[in-house]
Structure 1
Amino acid sequence: MNKLVPILAALLLLPVATYCVFGFIATFEPTDRPEVFMAFRIGYGVVGGGCLIGLAFVITQLLGSLER
């Protein structure tokens, strides 16, 4: 059970981070109001970055538990 939680967390964080990467890239499309998309860029960047940091933490915890 102890090793299952980090694996499930990684499986949940990875799709969210991937979605945020594609959303961040999509905000650079040409538009009439570029200032509106700045909020989306910030949001996608913060959420995606948080997911990637969380994913790195989960992977290090999982690798640490495998060494024991």
Structure 2
Amino acid sequence: MPNKKILLLEPGYKNKYPPLGLMKIAQYHSKYGQNDQVTFVKDLNPELRKRSWDRIYITTLFSFE
């Protein structure tokens, strides 16, 4: 599955931990999809909606506050 456009999206909330799930997905695409274009974004950017993506991964963080 080479030459795919991958979007890794983390919502724009304040946190001190990196998104480990998205980091693992990025590592997977760098290992098995050597020509994949992986883009990581924190918070939603309106320009991203104009582009077409082959896969979009979104993460979230649970909090009890």
Q: Considering the TM-score relative to the shorter chain, is it more than 0.5?
A: no
TM-score (norm 1): 0.34
Asked which structure has the greater CA Rg, the reply is: 1
TM-score (norm 2): 0.35
Q: Which has the higher contact order (CA 8 A, sep 6+)?
A: 2
